[in-house]
Structure 1
Amino acid sequence: MSKDIEKVLLTEEQIEQRCKELAAQIEHDYEQENTVPIIVGLLRGSVPFMAELIKRFTFPCEIDFMSVSSYDGTESIGDVRIEKDMDLSSKDRAILVVEDIVDTGRTLSEVRKMFLNKGATNVKIVSLLDKPERRVVDIEADYVGFTVPNEFVVGYGLDYNQKYRNLPFIGVLKPEIYE
Structure 2
Amino acid sequence: MKRIQLLDKQFALSIPASDIKKALWEMAEKMNKELKDQNPLMICILNGSFMFSADLMKLIDFPCEISFVKLASYEGMGSTGKVKQLIGLNEEIEGRTVVLLEDIVDTGVTIENLMNQLDSQKPKDVKVATLLFKPEACKKNVKLDYVGLEIPNDFIVGYGLDYDGYGRNLPDIYTVID
Please give the TM-score of this superposition, normalised by the length of structure 1. 0.91
Partner residue in 2 for 1:11 = 16
Determine the C-alpha separation between the residues in 2 that align with 1:147 and 1:130. Answer: 5
Q: Give the aligned residue type for 1:8.
A: L
Partner Cα distance (2:152, 2:101) in 1: 20
Secondary structure of the 1:23 match is helix
Matches within 5 A, 1:25-40: 25-31=30-36, 34-40=37-43
> Residue 136 of structure 1: CA displacement?
1.5
Question: Which residue number in structure 1 is paired with residue 65 of structure 2?
Answer: 62
> Structure 1: how far apart are the matches of 2:149 and 2:87?
27
Letter in 1 for 2:18: E
Deviates more, 1:74-83 or 1:150-159: 74-83
Q: 2-side partners of 1:104 and 1:173: how far apart?
A: 18
Quote the offset at 1:17 in angstroms.
1.6
**In the aligned structure 2, how far is the partner of 1:117 from the partner of 1:27?**
27
Instruction: List 4+ stretches of structure 1 deviating above 6 A.
Output: none
2:168 paired residue number: 165
Q: Which residue of 1 aligns with 2:87?
A: 84
Partner SS for 1:51: helix
For residues 100 and 171 of structure 2, what CA distance do their matches in structure 1 show?
A: 22
Runs of at least 5 residues in structure 1 that lack an aligned partner in the other structure:
none
Q: Could you list the runs of 5+ residues in structure 2 that have no partner in the other structure?
A: none
Q: For 2:131 and 2:146, locate their aligned partners in 1 and report how far apart those are by CA, in whole Å.
A: 8
Measured against aligned partners, the alpha-carbon deviations of 1:77-121 in whole angstroms (never above 9, x if no partner) come to 222121111221112111000001001000000111111111111
CA RMSD of aligned residues (A): 1.5
Q: Contact (CA 8 Å) 2:99, 2:126: kept in 1 or not?
A: yes
Identity %: 34
Aligned residue runs from structure 1 range 45-124, under 5 A: 45-124=48-127
Aligned to 2:29: 24
Decide which moves more: 121-130 or 68-77: 68-77
TM-score norm. by structure 2 comes to 0.92
Which residue is equivalent to 1:143?
146
Deviates more, 1:40-49 or 1:78-87: 78-87
Report the Cα distance in structure 1 between the residues aligned to 2:123 and 2:70, rounded to whole angstroms. Answer: 18
